[in-house]
A and B are shown apart, each in its own frame.
With several copies, the nearest count.
Chain A
């Protein structure tokens, strides 16, 4: 295990200390708990948006806490849910009287804890709504969308909700656009190498030197085909086709594209992938409003990538175009 770290059991807390030290004017904590990260400033009457999830996915989840995106994030151990108590503390800290929206990925532990936190928040008289992101088409067939894992596409859900909340819209409205984004995004990934959970110390799965797994999840969940490493163009074809057919995305549609690196895959390779994505979309008459390429949801040092499409309507386009500014993501106003 080649990691630049100190003791494995301090991995998450030392990372958080580093993040807070690096961004002292942007982030702070709630309840004196390092694992309850909240935005430094507050906007009266704004709906609060909270997320939460396991560590090891930077910039997910806490990296999107900031202007135009999220207000708070509870942070779990590596690939572990934070506790409902931590979620509650974040909820209390970010509520401005307008209620709080939870946006998180579709994983058992997170769901149970966010549900528990919701119940506790109710007791504290804070209105809470939830939107669960699950858009990995490899993880469950069409018709069983509710079982799908949440992966990089949650970025778009955050962005839409964050921009809407900034207009001081109601909790219902913020939830509506978050759900709309969640409903219109689809993702497929490919993994080339595993990653290692610091406290475990060895990879949770193995892939041979010339192997890849299409559809693998960001914690190493099984994919839909394991086989020899193919060319970039072939890999993209195998990833993009199921995505296109699922929603489906077709002629005349306008999309935003997210090519996400899982950790160890160089940007060079992501752009080689995008080249093919662009060809295919152009061929199908699907126009591209905006392309995001980089690391948005990682698995530490895992090599691999995912491709997400978000189908846009005028409202989502406008929300996506709004500026954002977090320690891990900056965007100026996009021209429409």
Chain B
């Protein structure tokens, strides 16, 4: 997968959906610690809807397609994470309007807008124990790889590793948003379910890119 066109995007979203199916119970459990246990359900709904949209679409403008996919997620999964992920795809897609093939450069642009969109909507910054803590280091890694002209599979692999690092780091943070924030200091030490979703997104992207290479 040297560049991402509509077909590659279909492979990626198929992988995203499958990963979320697989992680459903795990996410329910994670969200059960300080949240309302719905994350596994909503993420499955979100990426099932996203995958349907991508698979059935003939849209060649990948920016438009990703934006529409975000809108579908917003309808299918109006939870915190569902809406944030929806916003990510909408803002990321908007940044890629009129793009038909995505190289590692566009991919970096996409995830920069994706992450910024979530930060704006969630009124948050890195360090607050949210999905951003996975997305932000991953996006930096992606930008690094892109400016070093790394291939998409390589770039996504590095990004995924950075995201995993972000999930690890999130454990030591104190929650500032959402239900976990009610736990205040007790939230320290607990893994953030949203950051985990962030890492899963990069995992699916990376695995799809690296499967056939």
Q: How far is the CB of A86 from chain B (nearest CB, A)?
A: 8
Pick from A108, A116, A200: contact of B178, CB under 8 Å: A108
Bound Cα distance from A147 to B123, whole angstroms: 13
Asked if B79 and A80 make an inter-chain contact with CB atoms under 8 angstroms apart, the answer reads: yes
Q: Which residues from B are CB-within-8-Å of A84? A: 74-75, 78, 83
CB under 8 Å from chain B, chain A span 193-225: 199-200, 204, 217, 219-222
CB under 8 Å from chain B, chain A span 99-113: 108-109, 112-113
Asked if A81 and B121 make an inter-chain contact with CB atoms under 8 angstroms apart, the answer reads: no
**Does A76 count as interface, using CB distance less than 8 angstroms?**
yes
Q: Which residues from B are CB-within-8-Å of A222? A: 182-183, 186
Knowing A80-B38, A81-B78, the reply to whether A109 touches B183 (Cβ < 8 A) is no
Q: How far is the CB of A50 from chain B (nearest CB, A)?
A: 15
**Does B104 count as interface, using CB distance less than 8 angstroms?**
no
Q: How far is the CB of B174 from chain A (nearest CB, A)?
A: 13
**Does A139 count as interface, using CB distance less than 8 angstroms?**
yes
**Does B98 count as interface, using CB distance less than 8 angstroms?**
no
Knowing A84-B74, A85-B75, A200-B37, the reply to whether A112 touches B80 (Cβ < 8 A) is yes
Bound Cα distance from A86 to B76, whole angstroms: 11
Asked if B182 and A112 make an inter-chain contact with CB atoms under 8 angstroms apart, the answer reads: no
Q: Which residues from A are CB-within-8-Å of B36? A: 79, 204, 219-220
Knowing A112-B84, A116-B83, A217-B182, the reply to whether A80 touches B121 (Cβ < 8 A) is no
The chain A residue sitting closest to B82, CB to CB, is A109
Bound Cα distance from A204 to B32, whole angstroms: 8
Asked if B79 and A221 make an inter-chain contact with CB atoms under 8 angstroms apart, the answer reads: no
Asked if B80 and A139 make an inter-chain contact with CB atoms under 8 angstroms apart, the answer reads: no
* Residues of chain B at the chain A interface (Cβ within 8 Å): 32, 36-38, 41-42, 74-76, 78-80, 82-84, 86-87, 121-122, 177-179, 181-183, 186
* Residues of chain A at the chain B interface (Cβ within 8 Å): 76, 79-86, 108-109, 112-113, 115-116, 139-140, 147, 149, 199-200, 204, 217, 219-222
Listed by A's residue number, 28 A-B pairs whose Cβ atoms lie within 8 Å are A79-B36, A80-B78, A80-B79, A81-B80, A81-B83, A83-B78, A86-B78, A108-B177, A108-B178, A109-B80, A112-B83, A112-B84, A112-B122, A113-B74, A115-B121, A116-B83, A116-B86, A147-B181, A149-B182, A200-B37, A204-B32, A204-B36, A204-B37, A217-B182, A219-B36, A219-B179, A221-B179, A221-B182
